[in-house]
Structure 1
């Protein structure tokens, strides 16, 4: 039976964790573990988490004595993970009850599959669903896919064996940690799109990926894309030279603007259709 590791990197999300926890214990799939690392929170996160998980052996909590940042904490989560499948769950978000079961089914009899992802539903601060995030679509995975401008996000699930073939999560990244992970995993095999929401994404003012951090995240994402281009040995894209050294996010995103045109999207759809026949 496939074992599933749910990985949670927490920082100051004590007020939201109860709903995250409830969504885990309500899963229809039962063979799972949860690794939680608290990154030196200054709120009551550790007390809240400890009071909820209590003596439940499926949950393991670690905490840093000093703040290490998102990349370091998520990389540490992977060191403790023992599951065949792994996925990150933000402590202020939650999973649909069938999320793990649907993901496990998606990997059945698919040796070439490295990852799978689903739609997610955007929620207000009280985790009340509002609408399905429109940016997540089925993608054509090749060396020129960089999760930009067409994107997928949660619920991204990957084989631990695929992760171990990569250089792993960059512990020095503060932003775009997930983007870096996605692109590394996509180099290890095929990816499956599950066209239904399995993830509740909470929108609130303290979210790391929201307005205050958007510019910093954009810069980090551009650096991740540039590193990916270098790692994949890509010298030019659409007749434009990939710079040897990173200078600006604008320069990197300009290389990928052609992917927004209708012809490029049509060709990708045709390739997807042919690949599914």
Structure 2
């Protein structure tokens, strides 16, 4: 049986960790470990987390020597992971009880896949379900897939051996870290789509990827896409030349605007079937 590493990068989210913890220990799939890396939280996160996990050997808690940001912390999570399969869970979110079981089964059913992703439930600040995030769907993966507009999000899992074939998560990134991971993994194979809500995403004012950080995330996402274009050896997108150097986000997103149009999306859906 494959081992699953649940990866948690924490910064000042200890107050939400109980629900996250409860969702992990309630998993129907039992061969797992949890890697938690705290990015030098300024609240009492570490104290709270230690009190909750109570020396459970399945949970491993590490602390950065100084505050390094999301990219560095998530890259350390993967570095410490011992499982065959990995998936990130934010400490303020939660998993469905069948999340690991359904994800692991997809790898058994389709050995050629390198990743899985699923539907995601949007929740209020109390983690009460509100609605399914409608943008996530099965994708047509090719050289020109950049997850723009968003089609892959949580719950994303991947093979550790595939990750080791990439140059890893960029530790310098402060946002768009998940996008960096998705694009690098999918350059080595296709994902399977689990058509169930395996992830519960909590909306709250201090969420790491929400509200005031959106503009910064947009700029870093554009840079992540640009780096993927260069990594894939592309010189043109839809007959438009890719710039020699990254200058601004709008220039990159304009290159991909054609992928939002109806006929392009229809064509992709036809290819899926």
TM bucket (normalised to shorter chain) is over 0.9
Match for residue 226 of structure 2?
A: 226
Contact 1:120 1:201 in 2 (8 A): yes
Q: How many residues align?
A: 273
**2:72, 2:242 → 1: CA distance?**
28
Which piece of structure 1 moves more, 146-155 or 96-105? 146-155
Match for residue 23 of structure 1?
A: 23
Contact 1:9 1:73 in 2 (8 A): yes
Match for residue 235 of structure 2?
A: 235
- Report the aligned-residue RMSD: 0.7
Q: Does 1:187 align with 2:199?
A: no
- Describe the SS at the equivalent of 1:139: coil
- Describe the SS at the equivalent of 2:60: strand
Match for residue 202 of structure 1?
A: 202
- Describe the SS at the equivalent of 1:243: coil
Match for residue 135 of structure 1?
A: 135
Displacement, 1:209?
0.7
Q: Give runs of ≥4 in structure 1 deviating > 3 Å.
A: none
Q: Does 1:145 align with 2:145?
A: yes
**2:56, 2:188 → 1: CA distance?**
34
Match for residue 95 of structure 2?
A: 95
**1:92, 1:109 → 2: CA distance?**
31
Contact 1:137 1:150 in 2 (8 A): no
Displacement, 1:65?
3.1
Match for residue 69 of structure 2?
A: 69
**2:90, 2:30 → 1: CA distance?**
20
**Cα deviations across residues 198-217 of structure 1 (Å, max 9, x unaligned)?**
00000000011111100000
**1:150, 1:224 → 2: CA distance?**
14
**1:149, 1:202 → 2: CA distance?**
21
Q: Does 1:251 align with 2:251?
A: yes
Displacement, 1:111?
2.6
Displacement, 1:150?
3.9
Displacement, 1:123?
0.4
**1:197, 1:73 → 2: CA distance?**
26
Give TM-score, length-normalised by structure 1.
0.97
**1:208, 1:55 → 2: CA distance?**
28
- Describe the SS at the equivalent of 2:15: coil
Match for residue 171 of structure 1?
A: 171
Give TM-score, length-normalised by structure 2.
0.99
**1:24, 1:77 → 2: CA distance?**
17
Match for residue 9 of structure 2?
A: 9
Displacement, 1:261?
1.1
Unmatched 5+ stretches in structure 1: none
Match for residue 81 of structure 1?
A: 81
Unmatched 5+ stretches in structure 2: none
